[in-house]
Amino acid sequence: NRTEPFDYVIFGATGDLTRRKLLPAFLRRFHAGEFGQDTRLICVARSDYTPEAFRAYILEYLHKFAPDVAADQEVLRSFIDLLHYIQLDATHPESDWPSLREALPDPGRIRVFYLATAPSLYGQICAALATHDLISPSARMVLEKPIGTSLATAREVNSGVGRFFPEESIYRIDHYLGKEGVQNILALRFANPVLERLWSTEAIEYVQITAAETVGISGRGGYYDEAGALRDMVQNHLLQVLCMVAMDAPASLRADDLRNEKLKVLNALRPMTPDMVRQNVIRGQYTAGRLKGQDVADYTHDLGTGRASNTESFVAIRTKIRTARWGNTPFYLRTGKRLATKTTEIVIQFRPQPWPIFTNMPSSGRLVIRIDPHGELALVLGVRDPGAGGLRVRNATLSMSYEHGFSISYQDSYERLLLDAVRGDPALFIRRDEVEASWKWVEPILETWRQGLTPLEPYAAGGWGPPSTRALLARDGALWHEDM
Q: Three-state DSSP class for 464?
A: coil
Position 41, amino acid: L
Q: Is 237 an annotated catalytic residue?
A: yes
Number of residues that bind ligand BG6 (CB under 6 A): 5
**Window 227-256: residues binding ligand BG6 (CB under 6 A):** 232
Give the annotated binding-site residues.
Answer: 12-19, 46, 145, 175, 179, 213, 232, 337, 342
Query: Coil, strand, or helix at residue 339?
Result: strand
Indicate the residue among 220 and 325 with the shorter CB distance to ligand BG6: 220
Output 169 or 183, the one with its CB closest to ligand BG6. 183
Annotated binding site for substrate: 175, 179, 213, 232, 337, 342
Q: Rounded to the nearest whole angstrom, what is the least distance from the CB of residue 213 to ligand BG6 in the complex?
A: 5
Report, in Å, the least distance between residue 302 CB and ligand BG6: 13
* SS3 category, 428: coil
DSSP run (H or E) holding 417: helix 413-423
Q: Is 102 exposed, middle or buried (0-12, 13-18, 19+ CB in 10 A)?
A: exposed
Query: CB-wise, 52 or 226, nearer to ligand BG6?
Result: 226
Nearest CA to 357 among 307, 331, 385, 391? 391
Listing from the earlier edge strand, what are the strands of the sheet with 83-87?
83-87, 40-45, 6-11, 110-115, 140-143, 170-172
- Residue 167 makes CB contacts below 8 A (sequence gap 6+) with 431, 432
At 460, the amino acid letter reads A
Q: Which is nearer to ligand BG6, 39 or 309 (CB)?
A: 309
Name every residue whose Cβ is closer than 8 Å to that of residue 81 and which is 6 or more positions away in sequence. 37
Q: How far is the CB of 322 from ligand BG6 (least distance, A)?
A: 28
Binding residues for NADP(+): 12-19, 46, 145
With CB atoms as reference, the residue minimizing the distance to ligand BG6 is: 232
d(CA 392, CA 385): 5
Kindly tell me which of 227 and 277 has the beta carbon lying closer to ligand BG6: 227
Contacts by residues 450-456 (CB-CB < 8 Å, ≥ 24 positions apart): 451/274, 453/274, 453/277, 453/278, 454/277, 454/278, 454/281, 454/283, 455/283, 456/283, 456/284, 456/285, 456/310, 456/312
Within 346-375, the residues that bind ligand BG6 by CB under 6 A are 372
Least separation, in Å, of the C-beta of 175 and ligand BG6? 6
Which member of 183, 344, 438, 469 binds ligand BG6 (CB under 6 A)? 344
To 10 degrees, the CA torsion angle through 222, 225, 228, 229?
70
Catalytic residue among 31, 63, 237, 301: 237
Least separation, in Å, of the C-beta of 220 and ligand BG6? 7
Beta carbon nearer to ligand BG6, 211 or 333 = 211
* Residue 213 in the binding site for ligand BG6 (CB under 6 A): yes
Minimum distance from CB of 158 to ligand BG6 (Å)?
A: 19
For residue 306, how many other CB atoms are within 10 A of its CB? 7
Residues serving a catalytic function are 237
Q: Which residues in this chain contact ligand BG6 in the complex, by CB under 6 A? A: 211, 213, 232, 344, 372
